[in-house]
Amino acid sequence: MLQIGRQNRLTIVKHTDFGIFLDGGKFGNILLPKRYVTEDMKIGGILEVFIYLDSDDCIIATTLTPKAMVGECAFLEVKEVNNVGAFLDWGLPKDLLVPYGEQHKPMEAGRSYVVCIYQDEYTGRITASSRLSRHLEERASGLSAKQAVDLIICGRSDMGYKAVINHTHLGLIFRDEAFRTLLYGEKVKGYIKSIRPDRKIDLSLQAQARDSKEDLAEKILADLQRQGGTSYLTDKSEPELIYKVFNVSKGNYKNALSLLYKQRKILIEKDKITLV
């Protein structure tokens, strides 16, 4: 069945002076404008096209691929703001509307925002919203602990960073789980750290099972031995530097140092750690 706002594989049924028509099933024939037509497009051939509504709300096809489709989230720039709402550049001739009622904060031209793209159930138009909690799940369903996920950073608070998970859910990366500053709109790989009793989702930027505290402690000891027993990478070092050396968060590094200290294998001083 034809999906508006998504890629579709459609059969060419007719050539005209202004383009070709594709078989849209119950939606009838759908125009692919002449500017997208190439010589190898023959009747009976199948094309991969994106289906959307033009300025007259007629269904139309394009061989262009937008920056995001219906059911996805993206970080998009505002091209214009008028009395209808904000219009985003999503890579197609017709810009993407964010109505005022779907703006988490008033949008400004030239700035970029994380939005969710959906098809309005009343008008059928493809629309975007920065009110992410209206369109995404904040409680886990179909997700499990330790699962690898794709994230888009969509907010920041005293607790940490809010992120879109796989275009379907919202979760939180606590500040001590972020080994570096994360940028609004940034795409990163992550993991489901845990699912709370209230079903809300805690995230991590590193797999929990990959580097256990004991494994990391062994790596720290090996690094100390290579450096003659002294390292200036302490629990006060910058998170970015810790991640560069051990590929872990500052919180995990501090936990491993604490384990080694309790085992009396290292001494922790203000500006260095040393092997006992």
Q: Which pLDDT tens digits describe the chain residue by residue (276 residues)? A: 899 999 999 999 999 999 999 999 999 999 999 999 999 999 999 999 999 998 888 999 999 999 999 999 999 999 999 999 999 999 998 999 999 999 999 999 999 999 999 999 888 899 999 999 999 999 999 999 889 999 999 999 888 999 999 999 999 999 877 878 899 999 999 999 999 999 999 998 877 644 467 888 899 999 999 999 999 999 888 888 888 888 787 888 888 999 999 999 999 988 899 998
CB 110: neighbour CB atoms within 10 A? 9
* pLDDT for the residue numbered 235: 87
**What is the separation of C-alpha 30 from the centre of its chain, rounded to a whole number of angstroms?**
32
pTM: 0.77
As a whole number of angstroms, the distance between CA 202 and CA 170 comes to: 9
CB 33: neighbour CB atoms within 10 A? 15
Q: Which residue ranges make up each domain of the chain?
A: 7-62, 73-134, 137-204, 213-275
* pLDDT for the residue numbered 181: 86
CATH top class, domain 73-134: mainly beta
3-state DSSP of 128-177: EECCHHHHCECCCCCCCCCCEEEEEEEEECCCEEEEEECCCEEEEEEHHH
Fold that domain 7-62 belongs to in CATH = OB fold (Dihydrolipoamide Acetyltransferase, E2P) (2.40.50)
∠216-218-222 over CA atoms, to 5°? 115
Is residue 168 within 8 A of residue 136, CB to CB? The reply is yes
Strand partners, 126: 119
* Phi-psi region at 263: left, alpha or beta (left = phi > 0; alpha = psi -120 to 50): alpha
- What CATH number belongs to 137-204? 2.40.50.140
Domain 213-275 in CATH 3.40.640.10? The answer is no
Structure tokens at 229: 């027993």
* pLDDT for the residue numbered 208: 63
Q: Do domains 7-62 and 73-134 have the same CATH topology?
A: yes
